Structure 1
Amino acid sequence: MSAEIEAARLLLARLGVSPEQLLAAPTTDTPMPLIRDYLARVANAVSPSTREAYGPYWRRIAEAWGERPLDQLTALELKQLAEHTRHEAVVRKNSRGGRSAAEHLVSAARCLYRHAVNDGLIREWDNPAMRVAKPRRLASTRRALPADRLAEINKTAGSTGNDPELDLTVLRLHTETACRRGGALALRPKDLDPQQCLIRLREKGLTVRWQPVSPTMMDTLVAHGQQRGADPDGQLLRYRNGKPITTRRYDHFWLRMGKHLPWVATQQVTTHWIRHTTLTYVERNFGYGIARAFAGHFGKSDAGTTTTYIQAELHEVATALAALTGEPHPLAQPPG
């Protein structure tokens, strides 16, 4: 009997399966859902931002194998679809060979099958998406802008377009806070704390933080909301007619900048470059910990366990902002 047991152990080892995994194997007779049906269930279970990011790739998966049972998709088939997606990616000026499209397809498949594992429909080691490697990410081409280049953008924004006041407000907001587009678009009048010169930013990953702004920026945001009829619970940034702005305003803004400033079009400058500019200044002058807090990075994934010991306080972020803007801030540490 011992020889048979040893042979069974050897076979399991070669298969990469432990005895514990056999005990944990699903024993229910639940019918295996079709990929199309289960995708619809997963789409209703994730956040709106995840659904928006993965939706186009889930549709590709459904178009290719929607009528097949969830457990009949192989890693090779997923790999083939990822490569097909890479080659079909829309070619833009900043395209990088379709890597991002292939990566998003693999991530979308992993999200789908992670839920299937959690539901006990398939076993973890049968997950085909985890056996497909993501394309290696290339280094970002974004960088901090020199002061004179940022001044050119602000000057052009204030002298062109159909609403320079709006554009300058948005530019200064991003420069002072290093917020993402989503954070600016989600800002509401009730997120403003004029007394302490703080704004509440709600960004990706459902993160929420209070970010210092200069007194001038706060006065501008309050006046903007009042003049353009922003409801306390509604979006703050609006056109003159009271309609909330969308990401299209950003797209048109940078297209206009590119027409007046050729280097903007050549280097594909976007709002995220403003974030790089501000955070680079803060890191160089106030250190990594404060730059990390300024950016709204709170997890450990970006720098390991050490980040537990270098968390910056709000008054330190306010001090960095005061140096950046040249204006005193009520929460900033006194100099000296």
Structure 2
Amino acid sequence: MTGGVAPPSGLDVETVRLLLARLGISAEDLLAGATQKVVPTFDEYIDTIETAVPAGTRRAYLTYWRRVRAHWGQRRLDEPTATEIKQIVESTRSAAVVRSNSRSGRSAAEHMIAALRCLYRHAIDDGLLPESANPALRVPKPRRLESTRRALTDAQLTQIAGVVCATGNDPELDTLLMRLHIETACRRGGALALRPIDLDVEQCLIRLREKGETVRWQLVSPTLMQHLIEHSRQRGGTPAEQLLRYRNGQPITRRRYDYIWQRVGQHLPWVASQGVSTHWLRHTTLTWVERSLGYAIARAFAGHTGRSDAGTTSTYVKADIHEVATATAALTGEPHPLSNSGS
């Protein structure tokens, strides 16, 4: 007998192709399946990616990955369905801490979806799952509501500064923090990452390393520069270590900001009820710069790249460092060595 398997007909091939399409499987997925790695559990894989992501990503998602481990720790990554992801998202939303400025757990739900998408994206990049096997992409994020943050009035800013300067266990540190954020509109992460080697004393510039691993130079007044230098000299640390420190030489953390705003909220009830935070200072400064000196200078002052704001016009409307220096001089009432008006 010669026997053998007859070659597939055109109809057979078309039937298989339609079946694969219905299942969401590509030919590449079938080829990869022969060599695909063993899919790890959530416990195993989260241990791996915790050390592979940037510090900012880890800080943002670690709480949510821990919640995933509590629910699915021993399950494989390819087991949960989109419906199960919706369930854990809703569980996270309902368990969110209720604060005065809470929005029904929308932020917690958004962060949980983002944390799972990050996890699955790494698993796909590692060849553990096919491109089509990302159930987190099939769960939409909650629509973002407009921010309730706004610029503070001069009177409100004066009230806050008065409490910060007159209360607490280290008014000198807190006053320096307030001035740094008001004068530069920097983000909290940028202030915490500041090092003595990031100070350009001659040109009154500080190097900020902020979210998205961005690095930029921001202008400061001569007075603020001197305070930063003196703070570093008095409180220790090497040139490459964190600049902002407690009296005992230990570097401050984000908890210092929590302490400041809780304290201010105790003295000014409107601060607590509205959830005023350090980011409100950024809104305040940038609003003043925009109203006083225009959008282009405010955009440069903020360190925005223009990739996602204000459309195509932002590609052409740019302010240079000398114009930003002039804005700093106007804001602080001190001449700046790089301003157009001279020193």
The residue identity in structure 1 corresponding to 2:174 is D
Q: Which whole-Å deviations, capped at 9, do the CAs of 1:22-62 have from their partners, x for residues lacking one?
A: 67754414222222212211112111221121111112212
Secondary structure of the 2:132 match is: helix
Task: Select 2:171's aligned residue among 164, 180, 184.
Answer: 164
Change (3 A) 1:104 1:300: same
The residue identity in structure 2 corresponding to 1:177 is T
Q: CA deviation at 1:314?
A: 1.7
- Alpha-carbon distance between aligned partners in 2 of 1:148 and 1:124, rounded to the nearest angstrom: 54
1:143 aligns with 2:169: no
Q: CA deviation at 1:286?
A: 2.5
- Normalised by the size of structure 2, how large is the TM-score? 0.89
4+ residue runs over 4 A deviation: 1-17, 19-26, 303-306
- Alpha-carbon distance between aligned partners in 2 of 1:9 and 1:239, rounded to the nearest angstrom: 66
Task: Select 1:106's aligned residue among 102, 109, 113.
Answer: 113
Q: Which whole-Å deviations, capped at 9, do the CAs of 1:63-120 have from their partners, x for residues lacking one?
A: 2222222212211111100001111112222221111111111111000100111122
Q: CA deviation at 1:273?
A: 0.5
Q: CA deviation at 1:138?
A: 1.6
- % identity of equivalent residues: 63
Q: CA deviation at 1:213?
A: 0.2
Matches within 5 A, 1:126-205: 126-205=133-212
Q: CA deviation at 1:234?
A: 2.1
1:282 aligns with 2:272: no
Change (3 A) 1:45 1:229: closer
Q: CA deviation at 1:184?
A: 1.0
1:219 aligns with 2:216: no
Residue-pair matches, total: 334
Change (3 A) 1:97 1:8: same
The residue identity in structure 2 corresponding to 1:157 is V
Change (3 A) 1:2 1:241: closer
- Alpha-carbon distance between aligned partners in 2 of 1:306 and 1:20, rounded to the nearest angstrom: 44
Secondary structure of the 2:217 match is: strand
Task: Select 2:247's aligned residue among 240, 244, 251.
Answer: 240
Q: Do 2:164 and 2:171's aligned partners in 1 also have CA atoms closer than 8 Å?
A: yes
Q: Which residue of 2 aligns with 1:264?
A: 271
Change (3 A) 1:8 1:201: same
- Alpha-carbon distance between aligned partners in 2 of 1:311 and 1:62, rounded to the nearest angstrom: 46
Secondary structure of the 2:207 match is: strand
Secondary structure of the 2:228 match is: helix
- Alpha-carbon distance between aligned partners in 2 of 1:276 and 1:136, rounded to the nearest angstrom: 22
Question: Structure 1 residues 283-292 or 39-48, which shifts more?
Answer: 283-292
Change (3 A) 1:16 1:301: farther
CA RMSD of aligned residues (A): 2.3
Question: Structure 1 residues 196-205 or 58-67, which shifts more?
Answer: 58-67
Q: Structure 2: state its 5+ residue gaps.
A: 1-8
Change (3 A) 1:288 1:261: same
- Alpha-carbon distance between aligned partners in 1 of 2:14 and 2:85, rounded to the nearest angstrom: 36
- Alpha-carbon distance between aligned partners in 1 of 2:256 and 2:178, rounded to the nearest angstrom: 12
Q: CA deviation at 1:277?
A: 0.2
- Alpha-carbon distance between aligned partners in 1 of 2:269 and 2:182, rounded to the nearest angstrom: 21
Q: Do 1:192 and 1:198's aligned partners in 2 also have CA atoms closer than 8 Å?
A: yes
Bigger Rg, structure 1 or 2: 2
Q: Which residue of 1 aligns with 2:101?
A: 94
- Alpha-carbon distance between aligned partners in 2 of 1:327 and 1:127, rounded to the nearest angstrom: 55
Q: Do 1:26 and 1:122's aligned partners in 2 also have CA atoms closer than 8 Å?
A: no
Secondary structure of the 1:265 match is: helix
Question: Structure 1 residues 280-289 or 320-329, which shifts more?
Answer: 280-289
- Normalised by the size of structure 1, how large is the TM-score? 0.91
Q: Structure 1: state its 5+ residue gaps.
A: none
